[in-house]
Amino acid sequence: MNYKTQMDAAKKGIITNEMKIVSRKESMDENKLRELVAEGRIAIPANINHKSLSPEGIGEGLRTKINVNLGISGDCPDYTKEMEKADMSIKFGVEAIMDLSNYGKTNTFRKELIKRSPAMIGTVPMYDAIGYLEKDLMDIKASDFLKVVEAHAAEGVDFMTIHAGINKRAVECFKRSKRLTNIVSRGGSLLFAWMEMTGNENPFFEYYDDFLGILREYDVTISLGDALRPGSINDSSDAGQLSELIELGDLTKRAWEKDVQVMVEGPGHMAMNEIAANMTIQKRLCHGAPFYVLGPLVTDIAPGYDHITSAIGGAIAAANGADFLCYVTPAEHLRLPDLSDVKEGIVASKIAAHAADIAKGIPNAREIDNKMSDARRRIDWEEMFSYAIDEDKARAYFESTPPTDRHTCSMCGKMCAMRTTNKILAGEKVEFVTEK
């Protein structure tokens, strides 16, 4: 192999096997795809050690992708339950799974996840540092962070969220902004605390080139984390968020110079009227790199329903240029999500992503909708169920109150509009009293 990363290959004019697979999945010409990978406008996260991976592309002109977060915590340390969530995610066809475990020795779970998952695997090394190193935050050195990143890379992690943009300049801007909700990024808050306690620069920023060297070795895509993302609609588009975004734009170019693929992470909480402008600003400041958003959540008052607030924001974001949606579950802000929460979050995010792909005119995005509509016209229930995002739920709802006439549903019965129109167009009479 005479290249180190997908970007390195693309720059050299080489079409990798991963590019060929993505080209087929996306109906995009191989050479066009290669050019976009070379420019950094598409990333194909594919660690050389992730042997079970089914490669996916993230970025310009491609389907909007979905990520699922899972992982154990001190209050819920059961790896079995997290693997059940991973299996469900794979069943629903999500393209990425992030292991955000923050308790104990997490590599046993992560290695098994990488071994069996066709989806991309992501991590946030900052979360793992304390448990992995068994040190208090203040005692961790820059070299320790490098060790954790290298361990994750060697295991086969495809992309890593690294909060390199929250440097001393960005922190000063954050402090001046007097936010309502301060820092809500877990990794960002830990780095902020480390910087304030030690007086040192963010090690991920200060030793950025060293981290890039590790990522390049294993072809790990860097997902530049937004430590200063807004945690409330009050704080969106403020100086702290945008100052960090400016730093991320510079870090994007530095990564590309090392042939390291990049994604850039975005908000957060944000009112609907600000989302489109934020997508444009991000793409401009970060040179067209793929954009990975959490939500955005469009209101702050819906705990228990934040999969809905997120899906609304995610659909708007993706329709205006975001490439990758991190799911949000009904448990957001409340607890670690259970299996049911994970399912609800996946379905909500898939709805948002697919709706956005239709709006963006992604090739063939409308095809399955047209098939569903044709099956509805013909009142073919089995075919309708097969096209549904959640086939099991659609079938269960239909069967819960079964109609007398299987060519209708229990809501309209024989007054079904499809049935009436089909009969008339077929030259038949529509009669209710006689039929009864």
The DSSP secondary structure of 340-385, one letter per residue, reads HHHHHHHHHHHHHHHHHHHHHT-TTTTHHHHHHHHHHHHT-HHHHH
Does residue 92 sit in helix, strand or coil? coil
364, 27 contact by CB (below 8 A): yes
Does residue 241 sit in helix, strand or coil? helix
Residue recorded with tokens 């469009």 = 298
Taking only the tens place, the pLDDT of each residue in 296-325 is 999 999 999 999 999 999 999 999 999 999
User: What angle in degrees, to the nearest 10, is found between the helix axes of 107-116 and 79-91?
Assistant: 20
User: What average pLDDT does this structure show over 169-183?
Assistant: 95
406: pLDDT strictly greater than 90: no
Taking only the tens place, the pLDDT of each residue in 76-86 is 677 889 999 99
Taking only the tens place, the pLDDT of each residue in 367-377 is 999 999 999 99
* Long-range contacts, stretch 359-365, CB < 8 angstroms, 24+ apart: 359/319, 360/64, 360/318, 360/319, 362/61, 362/62, 362/63, 362/64, 363/26, 363/27, 363/28, 364/27, 365/63
Taking only the tens place, the pLDDT of each residue in 227-276 is 999 999 999 999 999 999 999 999 999 999 999 999 999 999 999 999 99
Which residues contribute to the annotated binding site for substrate?
Answer: 69, 98, 127, 163, 185-187, 226-229, 265, 292
27: pLDDT strictly greater than 70: yes
Domains in the chain: ranges and CATH? 64-360 (3.20.20.540), 366-400 (no CATH), 404-436 (no CATH)
User: What average pLDDT does this structure show over 408-412?
Assistant: 87
101: pLDDT strictly greater than 70: yes
72: pLDDT strictly greater than 80: no
Which residues contribute to the annotated binding site for [4Fe-4S] cluster?
Answer: 409, 412, 416
94: pLDDT strictly greater than 80: yes
Provide the b/e sequence for 218-250 (b: ≥16 CB within 10 Å). Answer: bbbbbbbbbbbbbbbbebbbbebbbbbbbbbbe
Which pTM was predicted? 0.95
Which residues contribute to the annotated binding site?
Answer: 69, 98, 127, 163, 185-187, 226-229, 265, 269, 292, 333, 409, 412, 416
Which residues contribute to the annotated binding site for Zn(2+)?
Answer: 269, 333
Q: How many CA atoms lie within 13 A of 170 on its CB side?
A: 27
User: What angle in degrees, to the nearest 10, is found between the helix axes of 208-218 and 239-257?
Assistant: 50
434: pLDDT strictly greater than 70: no
Distance of CA 371 to the CA centre of its chain: 27
Q: What is the pLDDT of residue 431?
A: 87
Taking only the tens place, the pLDDT of each residue in 178-219 is 999 999 999 999 999 999 999 999 999 999 999 999 999 999
Taking only the tens place, the pLDDT of each residue in 130-149 is 777 778 888 999 999 999 99
pLDDT band at 107 (very low <50, low <70, confident <90, very high): confident
